[in-house]
Chains A and B, each alone.
Chain A
C-alpha cells in the first residue's frame, strides 16, 4: 500500500522568499516520488521525480526536492519565489511494481505576494 500526505493545503510566501512545500509518504517498498504543478485551467505538469538515484532531485523552474528515507519525506523547495510560481502543487507516490498507479496528495495551493 502507498499513501502521501501534503502538510498544509495553503502556503503563502512573499516574492523572493524561500518556498517550502511539505510531502510525507508511506510505502511498503522503496517508492518512486513525484511533484506536479497545476496552473489554473490546466492539467498537471511534472516538476521533478525521484527514482532511487540521487536523493537531491532538481526539476524545472528552479525547484528541487530531497528524498529523506529516515523521515519518509520528499519536500519541495525553491530558494526564491516568483509571482509565476503561484499554482497548486501535488506530491505523488508510486510503488515500482504497481503498474501505472500513482497515489496523489490533496495538493497545496501556493500564493506569492508581491
Chain B
C-alpha cells in the first residue's frame, strides 16, 4: 500500500450504532488530520494530531472521538450520530517539520447516518 488509505470506503449506520473509521499513512509523516466534507459546505477541519498528540479540536461534538495510537494510524470512533453527520470523511497526513509540506489525502469514507 502506498499513500494514505482509508477503510471502509462506504458506511451506513443507524443513529444508535457505534462504528470506527480507520486511516493509515505509509509516507512516514508525523501529522495526521480528519476533515468533514459535506455537500454544499466548505471542507471542515475536525482534528489534528502531531506526533500522536492532539493539537487541534475544532469544537467537534463528543459523538466523534479520535484516536491516534502512532504516527501512521488514525481512527475516528463514531457513536450516536445524527443524520446531519452524513458526509465524506477525509483523512490526510503531512510532514510538519522543516520545509513546507503539503497534505496528502486519502480517498475518504462516505458515511450515511439513517
Check B42 for interface membership: any CB of A closer than 8 A: yes
Is B48 in contact with A32, judged by CB distance below 8 angstroms? no
Interface secondary structure of B, over-half rule? strand
Known: A100-B33, A104-B42. A42 touches B103 (CB 8 A): no
Partner of A44, one of B55, B56, B90, B100: B90
B1 to chain A: closest CB distance in Å? 14
- A-contacting residues of B (Cβ < 8 Å)? 4, 6, 31, 33, 42-43, 45, 48, 50, 55-56, 90, 92, 94, 96, 99-100, 102-108, 110
**A110 and B14 alpha carbons, distance in the complex (Å):** 35
Is B105 in contact with A44, judged by CB distance below 8 angstroms? yes
**A36 and B50 alpha carbons, distance in the complex (Å):** 22
Known: A99-B50, A100-B31, A100-B48. A105 touches B42 (CB 8 A): yes
Interface secondary structure of A, over-half rule? loop
Interfacial residues of chain A within 59-104, with CB under 8 A of chain B in the complex: 90, 94, 96, 99-102, 104
